[in-house]
């Protein structure tokens, strides 16, 4: 038995020594047992292809391309201190849910109090905005917060994930969230909050405002305070 073990390990050592530690350079393609995504039909940096007239695979972006966060497309994207009007949308209230750059004395962003008029105009009125908000809410939000917006966890959970033990799911009917600015809810959908991840990459700006409007409708259904009813009746003003 001992002899068999020594033969096996000895043979393995010889194979590794011959194939793995030869100490020589080669231009041959290495052996790949698991190819994974090593080779695939794609363009690589600094490569050539005859499809384009200049044979370059690295292309200049099409006209109208907007950089995510930089002075221009050719700058290092990095991070900028304040939004650059040349590369970002100008309307802070609609695109970011704030009244402008900066924060208040408590360090909170200057959130807009109400759904911007532009969102209502694009939707074609409050009715259309709320219908769209209900649809998007049920698709993107109800899985955690429940179709009622009550959130919760464990036995009190109203969403699927809450029943599986996810903590920190907000209840939209809490006083804290009823009193929050509309811009704050928009900001949370865009960037995430605590255990909630960002939905900015999958829910477009207009639909985020539609969801905010629908959340307010859910709150009114459970908390029809005269001041809130008046707010909805006057178009959120």
Q: What is the pLDDT of residues 119-171, one digit of tens each?
A: 999 999 999 999 999 999 999 988 888 888 887 655 556 666 655 666 667 88
What is the per-residue pLDDT across 194-231, written as a single tens digit (0 to 9) for each? 878 888 888 999 999 999 999 999 888 877 666 655 55
Residue 70 domain flag = no
Residue 51 domain flag = no
Residue 71 domain flag = no
Residue 205 domain flag = yes
- Given this model, what pLDDT does residue 120 score? 95
Rg, C-alpha atoms of the chain = 28
Q: What is the CATH number of the domain that holds 147?
A: 1.10.760.10
- Two tokens at 146? 């429940």
Residue 216 domain flag = yes
Task: Kindly report the backbone phi and psi dihedral angles of residue 148, in degrees, each rounded to the nearest multiple of 5, phi listed first.
Answer: -90, -15
Residue 168 domain flag = yes
* Selection from 144, 148, 132 nearest residue 210 by Cα: 132
- Two tokens at 143? 């899985």
- How far apart, in whole angstroms, are the C-alpha atoms of residue 19 and residue 163? 54
Domain, as residue range, for 154:
117-233
What is the per-residue pLDDT across 89-122, written as a single tens digit (0 to 9) for each? 668 889 889 887 666 666 678 899 999 999 999 9
- Phi-psi category of residue 46: left, alpha or beta, with phi > 0 → left and psi -120 to 50 → alpha: left
- Given this model, what pLDDT does residue 77 score? 47
**Interval 180-185 mean pLDDT:** 93
Task: Count the Cβ atoms, other than its own, within 10 Å of residue 145.
Answer: 25
Number of domains making up the chain: 1
- Two tokens at 183? 């811009």
Residue 37 domain flag = no
pTM above 0.85, yes or no: no
Whole-number average pLDDT of the chain = 78
Residue 109 domain flag = no
């Amino acid at each position: 038995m001992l002899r068999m073990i020594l033969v096996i390990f000895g043979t393995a050592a010889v194979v590794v020594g011959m194939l793995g530690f030869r100490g020589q350079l080669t231009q041959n393609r290495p052996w790949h047992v698991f190819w994974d995504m090593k080779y695939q039909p794609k363009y690589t940096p600094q490569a050539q292809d005859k499809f384009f007239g200049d044979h370059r695979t690295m292309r200049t972006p099409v006209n109208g391309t907007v950089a995510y966060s930089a002075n221009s497309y050719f700058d290092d994207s990095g991070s900028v201190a304040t939004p650059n009007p040349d590369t970002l949308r100008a309307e802070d209230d609609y695109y970011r849910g704030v009244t402008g750059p900066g924060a208040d004395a408590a360090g909170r962003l200057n959130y807009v109090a109400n759904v911007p008029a532009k969102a209502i105009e694009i939707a074609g009125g409050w009715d259309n905005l709320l219908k769209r908000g209900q649809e998007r809410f049920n698709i993107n939000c109800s899985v955690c917060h429940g179709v009622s917006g009550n959130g919760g966890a464990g036995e009190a959970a109203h969403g699927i994930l809450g029943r599986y033990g996810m903590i920190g799911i907000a209840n939209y009917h809490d006083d804290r969230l009823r009193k929050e600015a509309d811009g704050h809810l928009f900001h949370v959908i865009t960037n995430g909050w605590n255990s909630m991840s960002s939905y900015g990459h999958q829910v477009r700006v207009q639909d985020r405002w539609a969801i905010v409007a629908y959340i307010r409708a859910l709150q009114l259904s459970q908390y029809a305070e005269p001041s809130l009813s008046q707010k909805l009746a006057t178009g959120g003003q």
